[in-house]
Structures are given as C-alpha cells and as structure tokens.
Amino acid sequence: MTGIEPAEMFDKAEAIVRDDGFMEFRLDYLPRPGLAVPKIKKFTELHPHVFSIATCRRGVGGGRFRGSLAAQLEILTRAADNGCQLVDVELEGAEKAKPGVLQKLRTRAALILSYHDFRCTRKLENILERMTAIPADFYKIVTTATTLSDNVVMMKFLEEHSDRHSLIGLCMGEQGIISRVLGVRAGSVFTFAAAHPGQETGAGQVSAQELRSTYRIEGLDAATRVFGVAGDPIAHSLSPIIMNTALRRENVNGVYLALHAKTLPDLMACVRDIPIHGLSITMPYKGAILEHLDNTDSHTAKIGACNTIVRAQDGKLYGFNTDTSGVVRPLEQRLPLQGAKILVVGAGGAARAAVFGLKERGCEVYILNRSMPAGQKLARSAKARLVKRADLRKLTFDVIINATPVGMGSSKESPLNPDEINARYLLEMIYDPPETRLVQLARTRGVDVIPGIEMLVQQAARQFEIWTGKPAPTDEMLRIANIALQEQTARKAGGKATAKKKQLS
C-alpha cells in the first residue's frame, strides 16, 4: 500500500480491506512516515482481522526512506506497537544494527529480514547464509530475473530450503512472472502484489486482483499444469487473459503465463525444468522453434511454422499449428468453404497456415504477395494461384484475408486500395488496432469484416482443446478478449493523450 500522504495510503487500504486481509504499508513512500502511526492504530483497531506489514525501506535496500537506521527502527517499533503484526528490515540495515535492537523489535512484531537484488538472480545460498546469521521470523529474498531460467533458480532454491526456514522468494522484472505466480507452490510463505494496477512497488509486480482472478493463485497446487505463451516482445499479449479465463471456466487445474523469451535455449530450459505442459509460440519464434521439437504433425511441417507445443507424459515435445483453425473456423461459420474463392494477401507464416488449411477444405485459393518469389514458392507448394497486383481490381472473391502486418499499431496504411477490395468478407488478421485502415475501407465498400481477434480466439480455442481434451468455451473467450482489447486500446489512447499534453505544456 503506497501513498504520498497517510490519508491517501489508508483510504486505499480501506477500499480493499474487504477483499484483502493481508497488506503491506510502504511507510517509506511517505515524506514523513512517523505521521502514519496514528492512522495505523486506527486502521488496525477497526480491522483486527487484517495482517499488516510495516516497511520503511531505506535507500540502501532500494527504498525511499532517507533517514538513519535508528530512525527507521524507531518508526517500525511504533508501527508494531500500534498494531502492525509484521515489520520488514533489510539485511544491509540489520547487519549494522546494534545487537539486541532487532531482538527487542521482534518481541513486538514478527520480523521479516529482506534482501533485494535489483540486477540479477545469483548466489541465493550465500545470501541465505548471511541472512540466517540474524534471527528472524521470515527471510525474504527478492532478486531480478534477466532470463526465464532465473525463475527456475529461485523456485529450486525455495524447494530446497523452505522446510528449514520460513522463506519468501520471488524474482522482479517482466520475466519474473513465473516466480510471482508459482513461488508459493515452490515453498514461498506468501508473495507480494500491487493493491491496484499502477500502484506497483516492484518491477514486474502484478495486482492482487490479477493474481487471484486471472492466475487463481490460491488454488495452485502440485498438480496444477503450467501453460504459457512465449515470444519477444510479449507484454501486450492477450493470450493470458483469454486462456486463464478458459481454464477457469472449464475447471481445469492449470495456469497460463506470459513468458518473455529473449532466447529459445532459455525458453526450452524452462519447459524442461518447471515443467511447462503446453506452450503457445508467437513472434519471432514460430519457425525457429521447430528444430527444438521431437515431432510435429504433417500439416505443421508443411507450413513450416509452429504456434502450439504439447509436452507429452514422456517429456517429448510435439508441435502443432492452430493458426489454421484460427482462419478456417470463423470462415466456416459464415460460408461453405468447398469451392469458395479466397484471396490471401501475404506469404509469411500466417499466410501459409491459411493457404494450406483452406486448400485442405476445398477452397480456390489465390495469393498476392509483395515479393513475387515468396508468393510463387507458396503458390507452387500449396497448388494455389498467384495473383499480380495489376489484375486485382478485375477480380472478385468470397473472402479476402490480410496476412501482412500492414496497418498494425499506429500505421494508417492499407495493403489494398479501395477498388481492390472486391469480396463478401474481409478477414483482417491484425487485431491491434481493431479498426485498421483496410477494415475501414472494406466497410465503406459494404464488405463484412471478420476481426483479427476472432482468429486469435479460435486459434487459442484449438490450443485449449489439444492441451485439455475438452471443448473450449469459445464464446466466453471471445467476450473476455474483446473487453481486454478495448481496455488495451483505451489505455494506449490515454497514454498518447497524456504524452501529447506533456508536449504541449
């Protein structure tokens, strides 16, 4: 819990106290932390069921308190005397404290001895040895994940030492998400989360609400299967919210995480060590992942790109491509595919998944690509027809599919001109933004638009079925995906407006 004034901090605490019976007051965020003590007293008297930690971290431990060690300990003592059951003191300070001072503090509240490494995750055993020289009730070690494998290091450390010490362990940073969600299962006594999005006190921290409702942290146990989406970048992926919704809805004991994989060897080490049962693979690894797999189905081998991995019971990794289902399913809900005339714009991985899948369904497939050789190669291998741009305005199709990135993000470009959009349906693979220039042009020409989010959900639904053997709750997945996409679009628009305002002021 943070705030720039005690009143703000405790208003926030009041707002979440019904849902959260455990909170940390970051007194070091206040300009004068001592002024919060009467508020602590009032709050803890009013809510005796709440467990609260008082933290007043000094600069040496990565906090904001600029006072001396003695002043820090004085504030923590007063917080303890006024109702906080736990106090946090960083190792650097504790090692300098006079003998007996910490023990005296410990008679008033349980002591969390904490250590933070803001650069990496290493030498955890040495740190623990240093820490356990000082008697405390909990030892908290927070490091920074610079690889996905750092999470494995942290979790193995927790598994090995948590039966002898009461440990709290996690990795900060975007890549630390695995330890934030799975650390408790590995032996961490508890974990830390932001009271609300935007109120994070550590890099990569997620909100308490997200930990509970998206990742269902309270239900994770040894049998929970771990799934994830791996790519670089991955921060804005909608897959975690879509997949965790599906897992919850279908009562599958599983959790799905966004894995920022900077290299494939790092990712593969995690798949082996955690272990991960199923993976969605996204840019830029859909092709390169193939050589790390034990087997793929013939369809995936033909496409040359894999977006789904299953880890079988024998530990072997099998690759599939569900982008095909992402294209075929929304189309077959709208028109008969046998004999349908379909133009695919692009010849990359997504285009290949579409072209081969549609050919298998009996469609008449046409390909238009910026570079002729790539288009020719795909047309030849799939027995599809290559179209020249100059001929396009004379042709009509049942469906046009955009499988290029043209129009993504803030781009206002369209891969096709208005007079080249002659079709009943447009499937726009891009979903961010939801309204690309191509979508706008298609609408003005009376073309029915199938949004990219539908493809994303349908390919995810197929992944869900492969992993769990259950039908996917597709409608619920699409509903939640649309909400998440709207929120993401609004956040981006808000961010841009703020940046513009700053520029003007």
Catalytic residue numbers read 286
CB 6 within 8 A of CB 29: no
Looking at residue 207, what DSSP letter applies?
Answer: B
The yes or no reply on residue 404 touching ligand NAP (CB under 6 A) is yes
Residue written as token pair 């939801």: 434
Question: Minimum CB separation from ligand NAP for residue 239, in Å?
Answer: 9
- Distance CA(323)–CA(317), nearest Å, equals 19
Contact stretch for ligand NAP (CB under 6 A) within 12-20, 237-245, 257-265, 400-408: 400-408
406 lines the binding site for ligand NAP (CB under 6 A): yes
Minimum CB separation from ligand NAP for residue 286, in Å? 6
Sheet containing strand 22-26, strands side by side: 22-26, 51-55, 86-90, 110-116, 138-144, 167-172
Q: Does 44 bind ligand NAP (CB under 6 A)?
A: no
Which residue, 270 or 455, is less far from ligand NAP as judged by CB? 455
Q: Which stretch binds ligand NAP (CB under 6 A): 94-102, 172-180, 240-248, 402-410?
A: 402-410
CA 106/CA 136 separation, integer angstroms = 8
**427 touches ligand NAP by CB under 6 A:** no
> Which alpha helices (DSSP H) does 274-321 contain, by range?
298-303
- Interface characters, 216-255, with ligand NAP (x: CB under 6 A): ----------------------------------------
Of the two residues 34 and 405, which places its CB atom closer to ligand NAP in the complex? Answer: 405
Does 433 bind ligand NAP (CB under 6 A)? Our answer is no
Contact present, 83 and 40 (Cβ < 8 Å):
yes
Q: How far is the CB of 430 from ligand NAP (least distance, A)?
A: 5
Residue from the set 6, 330, 415, 473 that interacts with ligand NAP by CB under 6 A? 415
Instruction: Give the residue with the Cβ less far from ligand NAP, 186 or 378.
Output: 378
Q: What are the CB-based long-range contacts (under 8 Å, 24+) for 315-318?
A: 315/272, 315/275, 317/271, 317/292, 317/293, 318/293, 318/294
Q: Which is nearer to ligand NAP, 128 or 423 (CB)?
A: 423
The answer to whether residues 421 and 441 touch, using CB atoms and an 8 Å cutoff, is: yes
Provide the b/e sequence for 470-501 (b: ≥16 CB within 10 Å). eebbbebbbebbbebbeebeeeeeeeeeeeee
Alpha-carbon distances, residue 286 vs 203, 282, 457, 470 (angstroms): 28, 6, 18, 25
Query: Residue 351, interface with ligand NAP (CB under 6 A)?
Result: yes
Q: Which stretch binds ligand NAP (CB under 6 A): 51-59, 150-158, 250-258, 364-372?
A: 364-372
User: Euclidean distance between the first and final Cα of the chain, in Å?
Assistant: 31
Looking at beta carbons only, is 258 or 430 nearer to ligand NAP? Answer: 430
Range 309-348, binding ligand NAP (CB under 6 A): 323, 326, 346-348
Can residue 369 be called a binding residue for ligand NAP (CB under 6 A)? yes
Indicate whether 434 belongs to the interface with ligand NAP (CB under 6 A).
Answer: no
Sequence-distant (6+) residues with CB within 8 A of 12 are 1, 2, 3, 195, 196, 199
Binding mask 437-476 for ligand NAP (x = CB under 6 A): ---------------x--xx--x-----------------
* Tokens of residue 112, six digits: 């969390």
420 is a site residue for ligand NAP (CB under 6 A): no
Task: Report the residue number, 310 or 374, with the smaller CB distance to ligand NAP.
Answer: 374
Angstrom distance (rounded) from CA 239 to CA 227: 11
**Minimum distance from CB of 373 to ligand NAP (Å)?**
8
Using CB under 6 A as the binding rule, whether residue 350 contacts ligand NAP is answered as yes
**DSSP state at residue 172:** E
- Determine if residue 216 is left, alpha or beta; phi over 0 gives left, psi from -120 to 50 gives alpha, anything else beta: left
Residues binding ligand NAP: number (CB under 6 A): 25
How far apart, in whole angstroms, are the C-alpha atoms of residue 259 and residue 209? 20
Does 386 participate in binding ligand NAP (rule CB under 6 A)? Answer: no
Asked if 429 is part of the footprint of ligand NAP (rule: CB under 6 A), the reply reads: yes
- Alpha carbon distance 53, 24 (integer Å): 4
The 3-state DSSP composition of the chain as helix, strand, coil percent (nearest 5) reads 45, 20, 35
User: Measured from the CB atom, is 32 or 370 closer to ligand NAP?
Assistant: 370
Site for ligand NAP, rule CB under 6 A: 323, 326, 346-351, 369-371, 374, 403-406, 408, 415, 429-431, 452, 455-456, 459
